[in-house]
Amino acid sequence: MKKNLFKFSMLLAVATVFYGCSPEEEELAQPDVLGKSSKNTTTTESCETVTFDKFTRGQNGFVNAVMSDKASAPIYVSAYRKTAPNTYSSTNVANIFNSSQPTPVPDVNQIDDILTPHQNFGGGGVGAGGASGPFANNTSLGNLLIINRTNDPAQAYDNNQGGKFVFDFSSYGTVTMNSITVMDVDDYEAGGKVVLYGIGGTVLKTVMLQVSGDNGKQRVELGNTSGVVKMEVYLGPSGTLTGSGAIDNIVFNCLPPTECEVVDFTRYVRGSDGFLSYVTSNQSWTPIYVSAFRRTAPNTYSITDVPNVFNSGQPTPIPDINQIDDILTPHQNFGGGGVGEGGAAGPYANNMALGNVFIINRTNDPTMAYDSNTGGKMVFDFSAYGSVSLTSITVLDVDSYEAGGKVVLYGAGNTVLKTVMLQVSGDNGKQIVNLGGTTGVVRMEVFLGPGGISPNGQLSGSGAVDNIVFNCPPPPPVEYGCTYTQGYWKNHATGKKRDATWGNLANSTFYGSGMTYLQLFNTPPKGGNAYIILAHQYMAAKLNRMQASSTPQVDAAFAAATAYFSAKSGGSYRNTISSPYNTATRSQLIQWAGILGAYNEGKIGPGHCDD
């Protein structure tokens, strides 16, 4: 597999040289990019973890990107040897080291201090720090990341003179950092640290490494620091040429599950042609199949499917020969690479890093991730869910001459459920399109640009989309009004005290009782007749529900009582005052009456009017 990864990375590197493609667009070649790592970690399922089991190598054979155990967004990696005090080489020598090797005898390459676990726990590690105590090296970590000792990636030995690792999370937009595991910080290597950076290079947090001793393992807590774009890990003090060691288990995005599912295009799978096949949300592995087609003529679309991911966290290209600065995030005014008046300020301010966004690719080459300038349509197939409810989608860069774009939601049988027109957000502007929580959606189509010729006389419709928000829980019902007891309704049916809510109901016949509503209200339940007991509470609840909110529990009891009173056989009511228990038991009727009574008395629901 390592041979295939290297070959794939070499091809991508060649494409980068010839086409000027950003390295952010390299796809990470893995047999299952959505599969979980087999490595045992101590983190919860709510976190993402970089275990260094999923990686690509650059043209020089060294590691240039890794992925977490849960996402497909690349995290760009580099490692530099310390060459003099406070001075680092410019050559990337990030490499993978298999820490599960047996103890080498003799240890000519000095690697037994980064083997896992320690010999005391059945592994190959050697050293006092990992033998026992707070830094016990007691679990197998498998692959680790090292600063390579030489320029030969085939010789995977950690550098003894220290250095720094750099991790670029810009394809995520920003992340929240939880922890990182560091191996083998000896007492003479004290002074190493982890530095977290936000947008614009702002230092968010600095955490010093502890002295763990030879072969010791430490988990460095990073405090769930949010807004992180870049992380640097320094091995050894900056002023001396010391600092061997290795790192593992970068734990981040340990956030509680959101109420809604969100497609942010960090989790995706590519087909054999290199373009996206499907994506998944942040909470489910259910595939959402995607397509994207360029507009080739007025109201005409290519049959070539070119859905692609674009890293909007790239710096502003100068010169912008591929015309992508209008879909970079955030705008330059907010520390990003975006350029354009729409995103600079105002209602469509492009003020947040979005990381990966979804585009209609300009060409048939997926390594050249540039959005199509002729417009087109994107298709999202939710049929694997059955159907979903759609809340919103974020759209970037709708210029005035691109007006006419829209989002169309389809239900079963290709029925159009909702159409929402895109607003003109201006160059680099960001808009959140409200889809109204539309339920029953099987497919969504997003059209960029008008179907025909744009006002500028051309086929137009560049742009990108992100953050498809769906399957949000329904909002809690809004309570309104208040309820009265059965006694109130009985005493306010006629005369000067009459409550208008009654309408014509007082003189209407109540199902199979042989009485009007008001007559039945005035009939006591002799002998504990459950028909009458239920009817009193039912009639009061019926009137209360005309002018006050209800609850699901009350609605269910009311529906069950309605079915009971209205049940017929051969044109005759099955349940009457004299024969009340033909379709339900007395205990069932009393139970329904109790629920409705609690509603009428204000114990459940919006509350009693006297209160």
- Band of pLDDT at residue 157, cut at 50, 70 and 90: very high
Q: Residue 392: its pLDDT value, please?
A: 98
Q: What percent of the chain has pLDDT over 70?
A: 92
pLDDT at 564 exceeding the cut of 50 = yes
What share of the chain has pLDDT > 90, as a percent?
Answer: 84
Burial of 138 (0-12, 13-18, 19+ CB in 10 A): middle
Please say if the pLDDT value at position 385 is more than 80.
yes
Sequence-separated (6 or more) residues with CB below 8 Å from residue 362: 294, 368, 370, 371, 372, 373
Across 574-599, b (16+ Cβ under 10 Å) vs e yields bbebeebeeebeeebbebbbebbbbb
- How far apart CA 399 and CA 20 sit, in angstroms, is 26
Judge whether residue 15 has pLDDT over 90.
no
Q: What value does the mean pLDDT take over residues 9-35?
A: 31
Q: Where residue 378 falls among pLDDT bands split at 50, 70, 90?
A: very high
What residues contact residue 202 under an 8 Å CB cut-off, 6+ apart? none
Q: What is the pLDDT of residues 508-548, one digit of tens each?
A: 999 999 999 999 999 999 999 999 999 999 999 999 999 99
Q: What is the mean pLDDT of the chain?
A: 90
Q: Residue 45 has what pLDDT?
A: 57
Give the tokens for residue 179.
């922890």
DSSP track, 458-476: S-----EEEEEEE-PPPPP
pLDDT at 319 over 60: yes
pLDDT at 260 (0 to 100): 93
Question: Which region among 22-26, 147-151, 422-426 has the lowest average model confidence (pLDDT)?
Answer: 22-26
Phi, psi (degrees; rounded to nearest 5) at 339: -130, 130
Model confidence band, residue 238 (pLDDT cutoffs 50, 70, 90)? confident
Alpha carbon of 522 to those of 36, 487, 531, 533, 542: distances in Å?
Answer: 69, 10, 14, 12, 17
255 has a pLDDT exceeding 80 = no
**Where residue 181 falls among pLDDT bands split at 50, 70, 90?**
very high
Residue with tokens 């010729």: 453
Residues 6 or more apart whose Cβ sits within 8 Å of residue 446? 377, 378, 380, 393, 395, 405, 406, 407, 465
Q: Is the pTM of this model over 0.75?
A: no
